[in-house]
Structure 1
Amino acid sequence: MNAGTIGARTIGARLHGTPAPGVPRWAVRTGYAITLAVLPSCLWRIGGFILGLPLFEPGPTPPEQDPTSFDGGWAYILALSVVSEALALLCFGLVARWGEVWPRWIPVLGGRPVPVLAAVLPAGLGSAVLMVFPYSMAMFAFGLTLRGDRASGLITHGWQTVAFWVGYLPLAAWGPLLAVLTVHYYRRRRAS
């Protein structure tokens, strides 16, 4: 093992926590994959909406439907990105020690085992909700909204389209990966 591998593991352990005993390597990598799958879309939103990078062109839509003219402005985009990444990091609890035993700093619960259903129910519900991303990406590719109407709004050309897909296509993996980790967590915790 080289120093770079050891350094990466140390950084990963500090950010995500130590993997729980008995968790296979593929599950830990899946946990890391979720956090990395969400990051490009967060960066694309922050770059395009907050920093004003030329990642898209506003389309011909009425002001009340224009995705760039929402009431929350930059605070909404920043909050959406931070919450998205925080939820992705929370998915790592399905393979980390802190997903099995409440961290000591949590009042009353600290040090006690996490009930299996307290992790499985929100994770299962979250994975079900996140399954909309693959569908929405397919609809977007055909220029349609989720309801099947002709989409208007953001327009991308050339490299902007590539940047959009690089940013958002990994997000489609979040729901399926979370479903796999949820089933694995449930089986592993029930078996022990």
Structure 2
Amino acid sequence: MNVHVPSPPTKSAAEPARWAVWAAHLTTLVVLPSGLWRIAMVLGFPAGYTAAGFVPFETLGSKAWMLTLSVLCELVAFLTIGLVRPWGEVIPRWIPLIGGRRVRPMAVVAPAALGAVVLTALWANAPWWWTYPHEDMTPTGHLLVGILYQPMVLWGPLTAAVTISYYRRHRAAQRLASTA
């Protein structure tokens, strides 16, 4: 009995530029320092807070929020890698019902571009961390936390750059397909 097994879709765009691959992977690294800082607090280390300042972070709800936030930030940053990997073009086969289908480029570009704008706006004030008072932190903690959060300024622009690269690669592939 012959069973026809469809072949997987081929890639539709050129390989991503090396800088785009590096930038995509860098997004996961710029989020890491702040996430590790929050996880240290979840584990009970004051991580720069005074004894009194750390009290609000000792509740189960606060710990759950900090852990959830750390994991979510890393997962969202990891999605940027999809802009330079095959799973950003074809849904992995292991995903039920939709696995193996081609991803429409604008279904990727629109949320990635929106995310880049939101992240850029969200972290735009991070360079001025040291100008804001943090009475519940030790002077060393104030310095350290400021340093740990500085890489977050890069998250939005890196995501934007990789998104533009993805868009250009797929736009060029669509133009080539339409002229063929």
TM-score interval, smaller chain:
0.7 to 0.9
- Deviation at 1:25? 1.1
Among candidates 165, 173, 187, match of residue 146 of structure 2: 165
Aligned-residue offset at 1:87: 0.5
Q: Partners in 2 of 1:74 and 1:32 — Cα distance?
A: 27
Tell me how far apart the structure 2 counterparts of residues 126 and 153 of structure 1 sit (CA, whole Å).
Answer: 32
User: Which aligned pairs between 1:143-154 and structure 2 lie closer than 5 A?
Assistant: 143=132, 151-152=133-134, 154=136
Matched letter for residue 182 of structure 1 = T
Distance change >3 Å, CA 154–CA 191, structure 1 → 2: farther
Q: Which residue, 39, 45, 52 being the options, matches 2:44?
A: 52
- Residue 28 in structure 1 maps to residue 9 in structure 2: no
SS for the counterpart of 1:86 is: helix
* Matched residue type, 2:71: V
Correspondence for 2:160 among 148, 169, 179 = 179
Question: Given the two structures, how large is their TM-score scaled by the length of structure 1?
Answer: 0.74
- Distance in 1 between residues matched to 2:125 and 2:171, nearest whole Å: 34
User: Is the counterpart of residue 124 in structure 1 residue 113 in structure 2?
Assistant: yes
Asked whether 1:156 is paired with 2:160, we answer no
Does the 8 Å contact 1:43/1:167 carry over to 2? Answer: no
Asked if structure 2 preserves the Cα contact closer than 8 Å seen for 1:46 and 1:78, the reply is yes
- Is there any run of 5+ residues in structure 2 with no aligned partner, and where? 1-12, 174-180
SS at match of 1:187: helix
Give, as a single letter, the amino acid of the residue that structure 2 aligns with 1:184: S
Change (3 A) 1:153 1:79: farther
TM-score (norm 2): 0.78
Partner of 1:16: none
Identity of aligned residues (%): 42
- Residue 59 of structure 1 and its aligned partner are, at CA, apart by 9.0
Change (3 A) 1:157 1:81: same
Candidates 77, 102, 106, aligned match of 1:88: 77
Q: Which secondary structure does the structure 2 equivalent of 1:44 belong to?
A: helix
SS in structure 2 at match of 1:39: helix
- In structure 2, do the counterparts of structure 1 residues 59 and 123 end up closer, same or farther at CA, with 3 Å as the change threshold? farther
2:96 is matched with which residue?
107
Root mean square deviation, CA, Å:
2.3
Over alpha carbons, which structure has the higher Rg?
2
Q: Is 2:66 aligned against 1:77? A: yes
Q: How many residues align?
A: 160
Secondary structure of the corresponding residue to residue 131 of structure 1: helix
What does the per-residue CA deviation read over 1:34-63, in whole Å, with 9 as the maximum and x for residues that have no partner?
01111111001111x2122242225988xx
Counterpart mapping for 1:124-143 below 5 A: 124-143=113-132
Mapped partners of 1:115, 1:81: distance in 2:
29
